[in-house]
Amino acid sequence: MLRLLGAEFLSWAKRSECRKYYRPRCWSAYGSVIRNDGNGATEGNATSGDTIATQGCGVEDGGLLQSSPSSSSSTKRTGNSRGINLGNGVKKPFQALSLGSLADSPVEVLVGITPRAKESLQIFHIQTVRDLANWKFARWAEAIVVMRDAEGEKRPSGAVMNIDGALDREHEHRSLAQLCRLGIDALQGISPDKRRAVGRYMGSVEKLGTWKPILLARAICTLADTERTPTEE
């Protein structure tokens, strides 16, 4: 009889010892977490990932405390964070303008248009970004540069393709590659005096056709019509 009682007591003691060291964290009556680290129970606030007993502290297994749904919800984009920006192409005071407003702004809002460049453009009556985008000579120069990369080695016999209306007569026989290396006075309507006036900004046909402010001006005006106002969204 004594041996039987001793065996039952030993079994109860082992179960109690296991609970002491292995019982997971559980909820107290006030919603905090009770942690048992083997040195006694300690109480603290519940955090994400804490084990929760489903039926009080005496239950061995439990679930995980889930994070609040609001913490993982996506943040709606605000007006200041949406869309594009032209911080590397438009001077800082004008970077918040719409594309449409930029197109009608003075040409000097573009990065690369210095006071000297502005004076050079005024010789050709260019005042706004839109004027620069639509500048006939710049469009001719850009087209020549683009077509140069598609030019073959030989002109086919009987070919009639030409751009004579954009060139001075003395340059009509030249290839596109040769035209790119010429000064912009090779374009019909630009005198040598005007070429000297524009200086290093637009010295050659290739330089004029690849000048970044002109390309950006054309891009702004091309996409300005696709822009939506906040009331249209």
Residue 221 has which token pair?
């005006």
- 187: DSSP letter: B
* Of residues 38 and 129, more confidently modeled: 129
Q: Quick count: other Cβ atoms within 10 Å of Cβ 219?
A: 14
pTM: 0.63
Residue 122 backbone zone (phi > 0: left; psi -120 to 50: alpha; other: beta): alpha
* Of residues 170 and 3, more confidently modeled: 170
User: Do the Cβ atoms of 64 and 51 come closer than 8 Å?
Assistant: yes
For residue 142, count CB atoms less than 10 angstroms from its CB and return exposed for 0-12, middle for 13-18, buried for 19 or more.
buried
- pLDDT for 30 equals 43
Query: Distances in Å between the alpha carbon of 112 and those of 109, 122, 210?
Result: 9, 15, 13
Give 165-176 pLDDT, tens digit per residue. 999 999 999 999
User: Do the Cβ atoms of 145 and 164 come closer than 8 Å?
Assistant: no
Would you say the C-alpha torsion 24, 27, 28, 34 has a positive or negative sign? positive
Say whether 146 sits in a helix, a strand or coil. helix
Give 195-216 pLDDT, tens digit per residue. 877 766 678 999 999 999 999 9
Q: What is the DSSP string of 55-98?
A: SSTT-S-EEEPPPPHHHHSPPPPPTTTSS---TTTB-GGGTTS-
Over 60: is that where the pLDDT of 89 sits? yes
What is the C-alpha to C-alpha distance for residues 68 and 46, in angstroms, rounded to an integer?
A: 12
- pLDDT for 28 equals 42
Residue 18 has which token pair?
């296991």
User: Do the Cβ atoms of 205 and 183 come closer than 8 Å?
Assistant: yes
